[in-house]
Amino acid sequence: MHHYLHFATHQAQELVDITERVRAIAKQSGIDNGLLNVYAQGATAGVMIQENWDESVPLDVLSLLGKLIPSGVWLHDRQDGNGDAHLKAGLVGPSETIPIIDGKLGLSTWQGIFFCEFDGPRSNRTVVCTLLPAG
C-alpha cells in the first residue's frame, strides 16, 4: 500500500516536519501492527527522524551539515551548482522506517519525521509512504 505526499518547499535548505501527515496515513491505513517506510523522491532531498519539539534542533542539523559539506567546492558544482545538496542527501539518506504499534506510529514523545530539502525552494516535492502490515 502506497500513499504520496506532495508539497512545496520554501527555502534553499530546510527541514519540513511531515510527522502529522505521516501519522494520518498510518491511521487511515487501518493497520494495527506493521511498518511504514517514508521515502523522499529526489537526489537532493532526504528523510530524517529528529526532535520536533524545539525548532532549534532542525536549524542545528542544517548548520552542522553546512559545516561538514560547504557549498561551492565540489566537482559537481561545475554542472549545476548543487554538489553540496547531493552530498547532504546521500549522508542523511532518502528514507526512514517506523514501526506501527497498536495502530500508532512507534515514535517517542519528542521524535518527528522531517523531509530534508537541500536544493530548494521547490514547487513540488514528493514523499512516498509504503505501509506493510505485520503478517
Q: At what angle do helices 56-68 and 83-92 cross, to 10 degrees?
A: 120
What single-letter DSSP state applies at residue 43? T
Tell me the mean pLDDT in the region 74-101: 95
Report pTM: 0.96
Question: Cα(61)–Cα(48) distance, rounded to whole angstroms?
Answer: 10
For residue 58, give the amino acid letter: P
Question: Cα(83)–Cα(44) distance, rounded to whole angstroms?
Answer: 9
pLDDT tens per residue across span 34-79: 999 999 999 999 999 999 999 999 999 999 999 999 999 888 989 9
Question: Cα(88)–Cα(97) distance, rounded to whole angstroms?
Answer: 19
Contact call for residues 134 and 29 (beta carbons, < 8 A): no
pLDDT grade for 6, boundaries at 50, 70 and 90: very high
Structural domains of the chain, with CATH: 2-133 (2.60.120.460)
pLDDT of residue 77: 83
Contact call for residues 125 and 43 (beta carbons, < 8 A): no
Contact call for residues 45 and 115 (beta carbons, < 8 A): yes
